[in-house]
């Protein structure tokens, strides 16, 4: 291995695989698997839990760390992330695994729609959000019975009492393993007699703004960031959103529930809106909220995609962006770099990119490097709003 290069060779009890994150980044510093994947695969292999006819459901596989080694068992895979789905397809091809052996479904589908039957084994990579975990546990209950083996995996720092309590509340008796390489396994036994209640998601909250003196209700699926309230960064951005007749096309980049694009649409009634996100639940939330507010009086485009892929070059007047600095549990600035670079490509001459971010992230340096300049539009003790303009040729 070249010094400074990430080792992409993943040795497991099911074979050796070359795994890479999607999208491919030549300077990638993160592996496509973690110690929790290793622990879970080791547990499966050491206990001979898998047989040729095992019905296997995998939930939240990040980049193929579980589904690729277990591809021979024809797993059904539930994922909320477009990037994760593309990673699995890419890594299947790289490792000469027939992707048709796997059934890939998104987080909005019910497990029975994907598996078509009861499940023998459920493997869960614990999501970052407790709300997402609750939603997924509610969704899988119909395909479980007392014989189903349910094993979740995560890094120890991300497994809390609330995690265990959620399994106990929705699935049944739950316990954890000893820690290994800072990872743990969670074992839960399905209790058919347990009264788990109804899935509370999607949820909704009322915005602190009105439209024609009418309250604006925002619907959120479980995977949406700050799904039960308007987060303070978005509130600060909304208070400083730009308004101009020059904005013909506005993009809400990494839209989440679409709140920035919705408010921009209200403030710029002649603009066409495009919402993009890699989360299936986010895009579905944005669609629901846009239709709720505008019905068929406004048109918008919703893209399930990687950043701005699918948006025409030199076609956008304004991009609004609140970039994430996490990918799953990992902290990374790769996504912000990609968002900023692709924004430069799709903006029309004199088009603008507006970014809200925590002050400590210092995105102004990246924006200056990409656009040659950066202006601070507004700031408070925690957030900064930056504006850059694509120079005319």
Q: Please indicate, yes or no, whether the overall pTM of this predicted structure exceeds 0.85.
A: yes
What per-residue string of b and e applies to 15-51 under the rule 16 or more CB within 10 Å gives b? eebebbbbbeeeebebbbbbbbbbbbbebbeeeeebe
203-389: CATH superfamily: Vaccinia Virus protein VP39 (3.40.50.150)
- Please report the pLDDT score of residue 43 as a whole number: 98
Spacing of C-alpha 231 from chain mean position = 17
Query: Are 353 and 388 spatial neighbours (Cβ–Cβ below 8 Å)?
Result: yes
Identical topology for domains 9-188 and 203-389: yes
- Please report the pLDDT score of residue 393 as a whole number: 64
Domain ranges of the chain: 9-188, 203-389
H-helix or E-strand spanning residue 346 = helix 334-346
CATH architecture of the domain 9-188 equals 3-Layer(aba) Sandwich (3.40)
Sole residue written with tokens 């495009």 = 274
Distance CA 246, CA 350 (A): 10
* Dihedral class, residue 150 (left if φ above 0, else alpha if ψ from -120 to 50, else beta): beta
Closest CA to 282 of 108, 60, 136: 108
Closest CA to 237 of 214, 255, 216: 255
Average pLDDT of each block of 10 consecutive residues along the chain (393 residues)? 67 96 83 96 97 95 96 96 96 94 93 87 96 97 96 96 98 97 98 95 90 87 86 93 97 96 96 97 97 94 97 97 67 81 97 94 92 95 96 76
pLDDT digit string, tens, across residues 248-294: 999 999 999 999 999 999 999 999 999 999 999 999 999 999 999 99
Q: What is the largest CA-CA distance in the chain?
A: 68
Distance CA 326, CA 301 (A): 26
Closest CA to 249 of 321, 338, 319: 319
């Amino acid at each position: 291995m070249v010094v400074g290069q990430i080792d992409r060779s993943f040795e497991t009890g099911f074979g050796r695989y070359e795994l890479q994150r999607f999208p491919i980044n030549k300077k990638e510093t993160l592996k496509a698997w973690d110690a929790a994947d290793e622990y879970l695969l080791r547990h499966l292999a050491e206990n001979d839990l898998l047989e040729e006819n095992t019905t296997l459901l995998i939930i939240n596989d990040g980049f193929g760390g579980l589904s690729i080694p277990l591809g021979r068992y024809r797993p059904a895979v539930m994922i909320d992330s477009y990037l994760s789905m593309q990673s699995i397809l890419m890594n299947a091809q790289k490792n000469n695994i027939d992707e048709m052996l796997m059934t890939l479904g998104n987080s909005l589908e019910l497990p029975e729609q994907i598996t078509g039957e009861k499940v023998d084994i459920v493997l869960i990579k614990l999501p970052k959000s407790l709300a997402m975990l609750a939603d997924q546990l509610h969704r899988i209950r119909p395909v479980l019975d007392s014989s189903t083996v349910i094993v979740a995996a995560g890094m120890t720092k991300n497994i809390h009492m609330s995690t265990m309590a959620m399994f106990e509340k929705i699935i049944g008796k739950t316990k954890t393993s000893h820690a290994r390489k800072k990872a743990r396994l969670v074992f839960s036994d399905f209790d058919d007699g347990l009264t788990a209640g109804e899935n509370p998601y999607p949820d909704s909250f009322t915005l602190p703004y009105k439209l024609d003196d009418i309250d604006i209700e925002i619907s959120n699926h479980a995977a949406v960031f700050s799904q039960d309230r308007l987060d303070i960064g978005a509130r600060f951005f909304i208070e400083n959103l730009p308004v101009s007749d020059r904005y013909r096309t506005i993009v809400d980049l990494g839209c989440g529930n679409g709140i920035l694009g919705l408010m921009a649409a209200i403030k710029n009634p002649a603009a066409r809106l495009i919402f993009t996100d890699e989360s299936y639940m986010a895009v579905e939330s944005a669609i629901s909220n846009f239709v709720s507010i505008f019905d068929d009086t406004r048109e918008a485009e919703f893209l399930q995609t990687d950043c701005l892929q699918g948006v025409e070059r030199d076609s956008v007047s304004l991009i609004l962006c609140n970039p994430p600095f996490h990918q799953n549990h990992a902290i990374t600035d790769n996504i912000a770099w990609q968002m900023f670079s692709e924004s430069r490509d799709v903006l029309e001459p004199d088009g603008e990119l507006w970014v809200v971010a925590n002050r400590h992230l210092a995105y102004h340096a990246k924006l200056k490097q990409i656009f040659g300049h950066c202006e601070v539009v507004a700031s408070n003790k925690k957030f900064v709003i930056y504006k850059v303009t694509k120079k005319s040729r």
